[in-house]
C-alpha cells in the first residue's frame, strides 16, 4: 500500500496543475507602431492613443486602433476610429514570470484552448482506461503499473521543453494515459492484496495521498511561478520510483486465476517472511485455481444480467463523481478568492473527506453512502447557482463543501467497484467505469465554457445530473463484509445469501419427511 501511495502524490499535479500555469494576467495589444511617430510618448499616452475602451472605461484587451501613416499631431487632434485585432501580439506585465498563457498567447481568440487542452488531457485518461484496464487483466497488474509510471515520468518532464502549444497538448494526452493506468491498477492491487475488512482502508489511504498532493501543489505552484520549472518539479520525482521494478509484487489473486500457482506461492511466501511468519506447506498445497474459472472479457459485463446492471449504474456513478469533482477543481480561479489558498482548502477538505469515507463505509455500508454523497454533491452545485455572484466567500465555502462530498463519493466508487466486479474482469470493469469518468472529465472543462453565457449554466448541469444518478445508486447490491468474487458466473454479493435460503428449505423438507415417516 505504501508503494502504491507514492505515485499518488504526483498525480494531483498532472490533474490540476494546469490551473496554475495558465493564470490569467492583464494584457493588451502590442501598439509599438506609434513609437516610430512619437518616441517620447509615455506608456499611458501611448495606450490612450492606440487602444479603444470598453463600456467600463477600461482598455480593450483584444483589439486596437488600426495603424495609420499620420503624424503624431494629427493623431492627437483627430483621434483614431478604425479598430482591428491584435495582429502584432500582446503585451503582458514585465514583472510576471513566464506562464503557459503568456508564452503561447492563450488570450482572446485562443483563450478557449486552455479548457480544450484540459479536455485533451482527460481524453488521455479515457484512452488509458480503455487500454490499461483490459491489458492488466491479461498481462498482469505489475508490468502495466510500471509502464504507467514510465509514461508519466518521460512525457511529464518532456512537457517542460515543448516548443509549441499543440505539442504540449499531445504530451499531456500521453501523460493522461499513464495517470489513468496508475489509478485503476492501484485500485486492483490495493484491493487484491488485503482481506475483506481492510479493503476500504487500503484503497482510501492511496486517495488520501492524492489529497495531500493537492495541498503540496498549492505550495509548489506558489513558490515556483515559471511554468517550465514548475512542470519539471512536478514530474521529475516520478523517475525516483523506478526501483519499483525490484520491489513491487504482482497480485497473487491474479496469478492464481491465471493458473500460475508456483509464482503465487513465491509471492505469498515473500509476504509472509516480510511479516516474520511462515506459511505451512500443507496450507500452500491447498492453493489451487477453481476449475470453473476462465478468462473473462468485456462482453461478459453485458451478457450477465447482474453484471450489466452493476456496469451501467456504476459507470453513471463514476461519471457523476468526475463531473462534480473536476467541475469544481478546474474552476478554482472562478470563485473570486486567492487561488492558492482556495486550492489548499480544496486539498485539506478532500483529505478530510477521504479519511471520513473509511469510517462511513464501515458504519453504513457502500450503497447508502454512495447514493447520499452523490445527492449532496449535486444539491450543493444547485445551491451555488442561486447565490449572487458578488458573494464570493459564500460560493467558495459551498464549493469547498462540494469538493468534500465529491471526493468522498469518488473514493466510495473505487471501493464499491472493486467489490462488485469479479477478479477475472475486475480491471476491465473498473476500466469501463473509469472511461465514463473520463468522458465527464472531458466534458467538465468544456461545460465551464458555457459560463460565458450565464454563470449558473455549468453548475446547474453538474448538480442536476449528479442528483439523478445518486438516486439510481439505490438499485445496487450491498457488498459490505462479503468476499471478492473470482468467477464471472459468481452471483453478486446481494445474492450470496441464497444458498442459506436453500438450506433452510432443505431442512423444512427433511422435517416434513420425518413427520410423514
Work out the pLDDT band at 498, boundaries 50, 70, 90.
very low
* Least confident window among 232-236, 358-362, 506-510: 506-510
Looking at residues 301-330, what average pLDDT do you find? 81
Q: How much is the pLDDT for 507? A: 47
Q: Residue 301: which of 134, 465, 438 has the closest Cα?
A: 134
Higher pLDDT: 186 or 513? It is: 186
* Least confident window among 59-68, 422-431, 443-452: 422-431
Q: How much is the pLDDT for 515? A: 56
Is the pLDDT assigned to residue 490 strictly greater than 60?
A: no
Q: How much is the pLDDT for 491? A: 46
Mapping DSSP to helix (H, G, I), strand (E, B) and coil, where does residue 128 land?
helix
Distance (Å, whole) CA 28 – CA 13: 30
Q: Residue 301: which of 186, 391, 417 has the closest Cα?
A: 417
Cell triple for residue 261? 500457482
Residue 82 in contact with residue 128, Cβ under 8 Å? Answer: no
Work out the pLDDT band at 175, boundaries 50, 70, 90.
very high
Residue 433 in contact with residue 318, Cβ under 8 Å? Answer: yes
Is the pLDDT assigned to residue 444 strictly greater than 70?
A: yes
Name the percent of the chain lying above pLDDT 90.
Answer: 5
Interstrand relation of 83-85 and 90-91 (parallel, antiparallel or unpaired): unpaired
Burial class (CB in 10 A: 0-12, 13-18, 19+), 493: buried
In the chain, the domains with their CATH numbers are 1-23+101-248 (1.20.1250.20), 28-91 (no CATH), 296-481 (1.20.1250.20)
Cell triple for residue 239? 523517475
* pLDDT, tens digit (0-9, with 9 covering 90-100), for 131-157: 887 888 888 888 989 999 999 999 999
Q: How much is the pLDDT for 157? A: 92
* pLDDT, tens digit (0-9, with 9 covering 90-100), for 4-46: 888 888 888 888 888 888 877 788 888 888 888 777 778 787 8
Higher pLDDT: 238 or 423? It is: 238
Is the pLDDT assigned to residue 171 strictly greater than 90?
A: yes
* pLDDT, tens digit (0-9, with 9 covering 90-100), for 102-117: 888 888 888 888 878 8
**DSSP 8-state code for residue 243:** G
Q: 111: how many CB neighbours lie within 10 A of its CB?
A: 17
Inter-helix orientation angle 165-192/199-223, to 10°: 150
Work out the pLDDT band at 516, boundaries 50, 70, 90.
low
Looking at residues 172-184, what average pLDDT do you find? 89
Name the percent of the chain lying above pLDDT 70.
Answer: 88
Looking at residues 255-262, what average pLDDT do you find? 82
* pLDDT, tens digit (0-9, with 9 covering 90-100), for 193-215: 887 778 778 888 888 888 888 88
Cell triple for residue 410? 469518488
**DSSP 8-state code for residue 22:** S
Q: What is the pTM of this model?
A: 0.72
* pLDDT, tens digit (0-9, with 9 covering 90-100), for 355-391: 888 788 778 888 888 888 889 888 988 888 888 877 7
Amino acid at each position: 500500500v505504501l508503494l502504491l501511495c507514492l505515485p499518488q502524490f504526483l498525480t494531483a499535479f498532472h490533474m490540476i496543475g494546469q490551473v496554475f500555469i495558465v493564470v490569467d494576467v492583464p494584457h493588451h495589444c502590442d501598439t509599438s507602431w506609434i513609437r516610430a511617430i512619437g518616441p517620447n510618448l509615455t506608456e499611458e499616452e501611448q495606450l490612450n492613443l492606440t487602444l479603444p475602451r470598453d463600456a467600463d472605461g477600461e482598455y480593450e484587451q483584444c483589439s486596437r486602433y488600426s495603424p495609420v501613416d499620420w503624424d503624431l499631431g494629427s493623431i492627437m487632434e483627430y483621434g483614431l476610429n478604425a479598430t482591428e485585432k491584435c495582429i502584432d501580439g500582446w503585451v503582458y506585465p514585465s514583472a510576471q514570470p513566464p506562464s503557459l498563457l503568456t508564452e503561447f498567447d492563450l488570450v482572446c481568440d485562443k483563450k478557449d484552448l486552455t479548457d480544450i487542452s484540459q479536455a485533451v488531457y482527460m481524453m488521455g485518461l479515457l484512452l488509458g482506461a480503455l487500454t490499461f484496464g483490459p491489458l492488466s487483466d491479461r498481462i498482469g497488474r505489475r508490468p502495466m503499473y510500471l509502464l504507467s509510471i514510465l509514461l508519466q515520468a518521460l512525457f511529464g518532464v518532456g512537457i517542460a521543453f515543448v516548443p509549441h502549444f499543440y505539442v504540449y497538448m499531445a504530451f499531456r494526452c500521453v501523460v493522461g494515459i499513464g495517470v489513468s493506468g496508475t489509478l485503476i491498477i492501484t485500485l486492483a492491487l490495493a484491493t487484491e492484496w488485503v482481506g475483506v475488512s481492510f479493503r476500504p482502508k487500503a484503497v482510501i489511504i492511496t486517495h488520501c495521498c492524492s489529497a495531500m498532493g493537492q495541498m503540496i501543489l498549492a505550495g509548489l505552484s506558489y513558490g515556483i511561478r515559471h511554468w517550465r520549472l514548475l512542470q519539471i518539479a512536478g514530474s521529475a520525482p516520478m523517475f525516483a520510483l523506478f526501483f519499483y521494478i525490484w520491489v513491487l509484487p504482482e497480485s497473487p489473486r491474479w496469478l492464481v486465476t491465471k493458473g500460475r500457482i508456483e509464482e503465487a506461492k513465491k509471492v505469498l511466501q515473500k509476504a509472509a517472511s516480510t511479516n516474520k511468519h511462515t506459511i505451512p506447506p500443507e496450507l500452500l498445497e491447498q492453493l489451487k485455481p477453481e476449475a470453473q474459472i476462465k478468462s473473462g472479457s468485456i462482453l461478459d459485463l453485458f451478457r450477465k444480467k447482474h453484471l450489466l446492471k452493476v456496469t451501467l449504474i456504476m459507470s453513471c456513478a463514476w461519471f457523476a463523481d468526475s463531473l462534480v469533482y473536476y467541475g469544481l477543481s478546474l474552476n478554482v480561479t472562478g470563485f473570486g478568492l486567492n487561488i492558492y489558498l482556495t486550492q489548499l482548502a480544496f486539498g485539506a477538505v478532500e483529505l478530510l473527506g477521504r479519511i471520513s469515507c473509511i469510517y462511513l463505509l464501515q458504519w453504513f455500508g457502500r450503497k447508502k453512502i454512495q447514493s447520499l454523497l452523490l445527492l449532496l454533491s449535486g444539491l450543493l452545485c444547485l445551491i451555488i447557482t442561486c447565490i449572487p455572484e458578488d458573494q464570493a466567500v459564500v460560493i467558495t465555502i459551498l464549493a469547498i463543501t462540494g469538493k468534500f462530498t465529491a471526493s468522498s463519493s469518488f473514493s466510495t466508487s473505487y471501493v464499491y467497484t472493486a467489490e462488485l466486479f469479479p477478479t477475472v474482469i475486475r480491471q476491465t470493469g473498473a476500466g469501463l467505469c473509469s472511461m465514463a469518468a473520463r468522458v465527464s472529465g472531458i466534458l467538465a472543462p468544456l461545460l465551464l465554457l458555457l459560463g460565458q453565457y450565464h454563470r449558473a449554466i455549468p453548475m446547474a448541469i453538474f448538480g442536476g445530473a449528479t442528483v439523478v444518478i445518486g438516486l439510481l445508486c439505490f438499485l445496487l447490491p450491498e457488498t459490505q463484509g462479503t468476499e471478492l468474487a473470482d468467477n464471472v458466473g459468481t452471483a453478486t454479493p446481494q445474492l450470496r445469501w441464497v444458498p442459506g435460503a436453500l438450506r433452510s428449505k432443505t431442512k423444512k423438507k427433511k422435517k416434513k419427511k420425518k413427520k410423514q415417516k
